[in-house]
Amino acid sequence: MKQALVGLAGSIAVLMAAPVLARQDVLTGKNAFGDWQADAPGTMRHIRPADIPAADGASARAAASRIADRPANAVPKSMPGFTVETLATGLDGVRVLRTAPNGDIFATLSNDGRVVVIRPQPSGKATVSTYADKLDDPYGMAFHPPGPEPKWLYVAQPGSVVRYAYRNGDQKASGSPQTVVARLPTGGHWTRDIAFSPDGKTLYVAVGSNGNVGQNMGERPSDLAAHEKTHGVGAAWGPEEGRASVLAFDPDGKNRRPYANGIRNCSGLTVQPGTATLWCATNERDMLGDDVPPDYVTSVKEGGFYGWPWYYIGKNEDARPAGGARPDLAGKVRVPEVLVQSHSAPLGVAFNPGGQFPDEWKGDAFVTLHGSWNRARRTGYKVVRLPFKDGKPTGEYQDFVTGFGLNDGEVWGRPVGVTFAKDGAMLFSEDANGTVYRVTYKR
């Protein structure tokens, strides 16, 4: 079995320890918007629905950022008391991270079609080994049943979900994959994330939209009521049928049913610890403006409708979808709990289980922002913290790890996956230079 040794200290950003993290002033209203130059660890923002400006189409004129090699002296920046270390490098196209019950870190390498196991060592090094290969753009992963002794590792691909027999400590698949879910719609958004309900009885699969706002759906079904009876409230049709949705299945892939609709591209899916609440990090639509509509992180309610393609963030109407207006849906749109600056591209989401970060951060969510490609001035390219109080988000988000921008046209890092290790350290991946980082806190 081929393995690579990687050091933990290849890139380190260390800031002076702070026993107490002071409450930050919160940027609100117009002050909550900005670009990469306004980012700094500790900066807190709160975007509310009333803050969303009118659509102006400005993002249609924006150019994509260029991915640059990481400069020799470039290191991620975090808040006082936190250390950011390189855990593994050379992982081309590294995407989603998941922590196995025994502490191994599983990562999908979408570009290579592989799943790898990253195993930290007491010596300060980590081994990287290939668990499975010959996959088609693997992305989301989930262990089943949830708990200390899973029997399967599920892996999502654009058109299917497969599973491998698994026992704690396996670093290589012991057999061929079994197809559990077949014939998922392909094309368009390909990032299929998955999660299991805490009781292990429901497999959730996120399927992003085919296009931006359903311009090619064609004429609406002649009987919308019948369509929604089988596909759920607000379900799209034509090439968007079964998309912009979270689908639910039994663990064996049977009993397919719609769980929630109108979520344009749920790229990060997870269940909040201690609850059965499903959460989703979502990329919203493009070409309405640099600051409209916001991306978001939301709880996902069974039967819920979240707007796409006819509405966004409540009753804000988008007139572009094919098939005409849907005034019947205006009062059914669920408003997400946390709004994130437009075009930030949130991908991964994970909850802090506690054990290493500040005690008051236990239960908070951490989200990776992959970064904008369609905004006049770049935003995203960072990891943010979403404070929770009594199990509910406050609506704010805080810059936690930044520093991946070089100038107005170039970036060297794009955060993607996030998970927490057994010791409470946070791990996140970035796919621009194929790196996984480890973030720790000194009390």
- Does residue 1 fall inside a structural domain? no
- Does residue 8 fall inside a structural domain? no
With a cut of 50, list the residues of the chain below it in pLDDT: 1-11, 14-21
- Does residue 48 fall inside a structural domain? yes
Instruction: Count Cα atoms within 13 angstroms, Cβ side, for 216.
Output: 7
- The amino acid at residue 197 is S
Considering its fold, how many domains does the chain have in total?
Answer: 1
- Does residue 2 fall inside a structural domain? no
- Does residue 370 fall inside a structural domain? yes
For the domain that residue 288 is a member of, what is the CATH number?
2.120.10.30
Judge residue 238's burial from the number of C-beta atoms within 10 Å of its C-beta, 0-12 exposed, 13-18 middle, 19 or more buried: middle
Find residue 179's DSSP bridge partners: 162
User: Counting every residue, how long is the chain?
Assistant: 443
Enclosing domain of residue 163: 29-441
What is the full DSSP assignment across 95-112? EEEEE-TTS-EEEEETTT
Diameter of the chain measured on Cα atoms: 65
Tokens of 256: 């397919």
- Does residue 402 fall inside a structural domain? yes
pLDDT tens digits, one per residue of 85-132? 999 999 999 999 999 999 999 999 999 999 999 998 887 678 999 999
Closest among 100, 133, 136 to 118, alpha carbons compared:
100
Give residue 4's pLDDT: 45
Give residue 27's pLDDT: 97
- Does residue 82 fall inside a structural domain? yes
- Does residue 216 fall inside a structural domain? yes
Whole-structure pTM value: 0.95
